[in-house]
Amino acid sequence: MSKKREDQGTNLLYKLIGEARGYDDVIVMGRGDPDFDTPAHIVAAAKEAMIHHHADYSPPAGLPALREAIAERVKRVNNIDVDPASEVVVTNGGQEALFLMVLATVGAGDEMIVPEPNYTTYADSLDFAGATKVEVQTWPQEDFRADPALVRAAVTERTRALLLVSPNNPCASVISPGDMRELLDIAIERDLMILSDEIYDLFVYDDFAHTSPAALPGGKERTLTLNALSKSYSMTGWRLGWITGPADLMARVTELKAATTGGASVISQYAGIAALTGPQEPVEMMAAAYRRRRRLVLDALDEMGMKYGLPQGGQFVFADIAFTGLDSAEVAQRMLTEQHVLAYPGSAFSKDRKDYLRMTFLQPEDKLIEGLERMKVAMQGIMAGR
Ligand SMILES: Cc1ncc(COP(=O)(O)O)c(C=O)c1O
């Protein structure tokens, strides 16, 4: 493993998670796994599939019934029209979807523009593809808005695609409909693809609204859209996601899928059909809980006098810890070792955000309150020079 990979991004996070596992009383305010159980009717569908021996290989693109359920979902939620037979591929979670999308669109020497900060494995995926990640900075004063003017200025002859995530991980910004239109216009003018990561599309707060570029006029033919059941149905370990996009590119994605992991687990796919076609109340219940917890976390940070970019969507808050004078990796390490509370260092998401911590709302309210209290004690210790 290279020194770079050992210390940064994904590997830094895995190191902290490893240490956290050693503490019985740890409060995990960093990790992205929802704390809710997978809804019972979804688990029942998986059991049913196992008992009836629906355990053969799946077609590489996924079971037709699941692809149909996905096509129906993206029409209903995102207003994207796709043909289930040729424009949907089921993946092993959002992670594989991301990797396949990157491999299908860029190669050595190509550039992809990505607003910073962003999800840790974007850099890893682009690295493996031999492509360059061109970063466009966003600012806390603007709640981490991806400014289309800066994106436009970053386009070169080598640019092949824009990689957009809205709602964003880690900084929870949402791309407005107007900005999304402008970003798509840039893609049309410069003949670029858009890779759109919409894994948090069901979690948007206040008056903010989710926009799918593939739903806008001129968007569908140049957009690959990623989504997954991981966050919305509390199914992170089931490893189920999807990509939708134009048929020619999806044929390429299907080839890559067949050559790497083949079709996703059929047991999980039967569960996925139940998730997408069954009752949606559990999703609404979880979304309502995240709304309450977000308020609770923001109120506690306000009370501590900490600054943050307003979380417009997603399941995170990206909080400013510049006042400590320490690197976020050190602050996260001290919070974990001294107070057994795990938050993720901003440096794992962007080299320019060493003064931020990412916290998630994925704990019951009593644990969140306790975690925030411990965080306050850790911060007081740091400020007192202890
Ligand atoms: C923005 C974003 N994209 C993709 C993924 C990967 O999703 P999955 O857990 O389904 O592999 C995550 C996971 O946290 C994420 O935050």
**Domain range list for the chain:** 3-30+282-383, 55-277
CATH of domain 3-30+282-383: 3.90.1150.10
User: Which residues does 351 contact at the CB level (< 8 Å), separation at least 6?
Assistant: 8
The per-residue pLDDT for 8 is 59
Q: Into which CATH architecture does domain 55-277 fall?
A: 3-Layer(aba) Sandwich (3.40)
Q: Whose alpha carbon is nearest atom 14 of ligand 1?
A: 32
**Can you name the residues that pair with 132 across neighbouring β-strands?**
111
The per-residue pLDDT for 91 is 98
The per-residue pLDDT for 351 is 84
Which pair of tokens denotes residue 351?
């080299």
The residue type found at 93 is G
Residues with CB under 6 A from ligand 1: 32, 93-95, 98, 119, 165, 169, 197, 199, 228, 230, 236, 241
The per-residue pLDDT for 301 is 93
Interval between CA 84 and ligand 1 midpoint (Å): 23
Ranges assigned E (strand) in the chain: 27-28, 88-91, 111-115, 132-136, 159-165, 193-197, 223-228, 241-244, 307-309, 316-320, 341-342, 344-345, 356-360
Does the pTM exceed 0.75? yes
**What does residue 329 show for φ and ψ, rounded to 5 degrees?**
-65, -40
Question: In this structure, are residues 195 and 224 in contact, taking their beta carbons and an 8 Å threshold?
Answer: yes
Q: Which of 31, 119, 226, 235 to mutate to test the pocket of ligand 1 (most atoms within 8 A of CB)?
A: 119
The residue type found at 111 is E
Interval between CA 208 and ligand 1 midpoint (Å): 21
Q: Which of 230, 238, 349 to mutate to test the pocket of ligand 1 (most atoms within 8 A of CB)?
A: 230
The per-residue pLDDT for 1 is 40
- pLDDT tens, position by position, for the chain (386 residues)? 444 444 556 788 888 999 999 999 999 988 788 999 999 999 999 999 999 877 789 999 999 999 999 999 999 999 999 999 999 999 999 999 999 999 999 999 999 999 999 998 999 999 999 999 999 999 988 999 999 999 999 999 999 999 999 999 999 999 999 999 999 999 999 999 999 999 999 999 999 999 999 999 999 999 999 999 999 999 999 999 999 999 999 999 999 999 999 999 999 999 999 999 999 999 999 999 999 999 999 999 999 889 999 999 999 999 999 999 999 999 999 999 999 999 999 988 888 889 999 999 899 999 999 999 999 999 999 888 86
The per-residue pLDDT for 7 is 53
Interval between CA 196 and ligand 1 midpoint (Å): 12
Is residue 57 left, alpha or beta, with left meaning phi > 0 and alpha meaning psi from -120 to 50?
A: beta
Torsion of CA 110, 111, 117, 121, to 10 degrees: -10
The per-residue pLDDT for 5 is 46
